[in-house]
Amino acid sequence: MKKRLSNLTIANVPAAIPRYDRRAIMPGIVHLGVGAFHRAHQAAYVDACLADGEGDWGIVGVSLRSPDTRDALKPQDGLYTLAIRDSAGEQLQVVGSIQSLLVAPEDPGAVLAALTDPRIRIVTLTITEKAYLRAADGSLDGAHPDIVHDLANPGSPKTAHGFLAEALARRSIAGTPPFTVLCCDNLPANGATLHRLLIEFAKLRDADLGRYVADEVAFPSSMVDRIVPATTDADRARIADELGLEDAWPVMTEPFRQWVIEDRFPAGRPAWEKFGVTMVEDVGPFEDMKLRLLNGAHSGIAYLGLLSGHATVDRAFADPSIRQFVDRLWAEAIPTLPQDAGLDPIPYTAELAARFSNAALAHRTAQIANDGSQKLPQRIVASALARLEAGLLPEHLSLVVAAWIAACTARGGSLPEGHFTDPLDAALGDLFGRNLPTATMAEAVFDLAGFAIGHAERQKLIEFVATHLVHFK
């Protein structure tokens, strides 16, 4: 049986390893949501900064739900393998930037202690869209049971909102400067969005805390991009053979990576720009291009791929009808992007086409399909509404929404039950069981998901979606 990857066993592995003394690293960042994407993206950038001598930016990783990542990485001293794959082969890198791991439900006090440590100057988040607990109108869902719990029990929170608010309150009382909050999720204007939500939460606790969060805490927006498919048992076995060591939690990814960040860090930050991060005044245009062209196409490929029997992105994208659809989707979305922001969408989509064709990643369509009700508003619906406002048709954009509905209804039939999931699954199941006319069904789904609430073009978009839905029956 092979030995486990760890500080003691790492020296002779055939991979790039941390070129710094991990024992000398000090914590500077707490990350909420230590999933595969964080470990392929932000943690890898921080690892480069540590190797460059910036030794006070080690990461304290926090899982808000499951202990799986902690259980896998603790015996490995936080080390894990990043496998960068394309058609030319695979490069392995052992990343050492995660210094410790906490599980919030097991010990919320330990998480709060980490967040109030004066050495912590940045808190980053990748908790996925659904974990921001927004109501249909985009405001904080104050009735959510976890929000209600956190307001009543500030010392033992469950949500990111609860942890951030309590930690900031404690830092303020102690005279410790606030940390900068850096959202790395696919939310529109993610920094501003999280800032607004946290102000709403803090005000429900205390008016003074709400003012403090509003006036004293920086929330720069950022745009992140790297494709990170789920790790399989076959991946783990292959990595173990290549390393000569067992790694319980390696991460698969592509060579491409991008991070664009608004440069507002009052308490300091790593020199990320030395390693390819783009520091800007306004991340909005970059975010729009990525959400509408990469993420929007990914959702289209996922749902049409599932309905066509394609298990991975590369196989779906190789289907001539889906490839043609994506080209037309891009043609609809590109005119909705800011025209005076220096974007270059044509080379960008050419690069996306090459990335989607990367068969080495085996990125599952079912993985991308998860949480469509939370993802489609910024990926697809926003572009479709912008086209309607401009007097243009959203034929292919609206088809993605219809494909999502059709894929949801196909579970338990042509698709396996539970093949992908959505926070609205229970309510969607009740709705689908009512056997409503297609037009009524489309409107009911829009109402349930909160798509385009209050928008003047909402009814037109529903009509486009209903027209497409007929063809999926």
Reported confidence tier of residue 243, pLDDT bands at 50, 70, 90:
very high
Residue 33 has pLDDT above 90, yes or no: yes
Helical segments of 365-437, H only: 365-369, 372-376, 382-389, 395-410, 425-432
CA dihedral sign of residues 108, 110, 113, 114: negative
Domain made up of 22-281: CATH architecture: 3-Layer(aba) Sandwich (3.40)
281 token code pair: 């005044």
Burial of 365: CB neighbours in 10 Å, binned 0-12, 13-18, 19+? buried
Write down the pLDDT at residue 245.
Answer: 96
Reported confidence tier of residue 218, pLDDT bands at 50, 70, 90:
very high
- Mean pLDDT rounded to a whole number for the chain: 96
**What's the whole-model pTM score?**
0.89
What is the residue type of 417?
E
182-205, pLDDT tens digit by residue?
Answer: 999 998 899 999 999 999 999 999
Note the CATH number of domain 284-470. Answer: 1.10.1040.10
Reported confidence tier of residue 137, pLDDT bands at 50, 70, 90:
confident
159-180, pLDDT tens digit by residue?
Answer: 999 999 999 999 999 999 999 9
Task: Identify whether the C-beta of residue 77 lies closer than 8 Å to the C-beta of residue 6.
Answer: yes
Residue 71 has pLDDT above 90, yes or no: yes
291: Cα separation from own chain's centroid: 11
Residue 1 has pLDDT above 80, yes or no: no
What is the residue type of 466?
A
- Average confidence (pLDDT) over 202-210: 97
3-state SS, residue 131: helix
Write down the pLDDT at residue 442.
Answer: 97
Residue 440 has pLDDT above 80, yes or no: yes
- Average confidence (pLDDT) over 355-379: 96
3-state SS, residue 190: helix
- Average confidence (pLDDT) over 267-295: 96
71 token code pair: 């259980």
Task: Identify whether the C-beta of residue 27 lies closer than 8 Å to the C-beta of residue 114.
Answer: yes
- Average confidence (pLDDT) over 115-141: 95
Reported confidence tier of residue 87, pLDDT bands at 50, 70, 90:
confident
- Average confidence (pLDDT) over 135-163: 96
Write down the pLDDT at residue 195.
Answer: 98
Domain positions in the chain are 22-281, 284-470
Helical segments of 52-159, H only: 68-73, 108-116, 145-152
- How far apart are the C-alpha atoms of 91 and 310, rounded to whole Å? 27
Kind of pairing between the strands at 80-86 and 251-253: parallel
Write down the pLDDT at residue 263.
Answer: 98
Write down the pLDDT at residue 352.
Answer: 97
Residue 114 has pLDDT above 80, yes or no: yes
Residue 88 has pLDDT above 90, yes or no: no
Write down the pLDDT at residue 12.
Answer: 86
Examine domains 22-281 and 284-470 and report if their fold is the same: no
Write down the pLDDT at residue 136.
Answer: 81
CA distances, 77 to each of 20, 22, 70, 108, 173 (Å): 15, 10, 10, 21, 34
300-329, pLDDT tens digit by residue?
Answer: 999 999 999 999 999 999 999 999 999 999
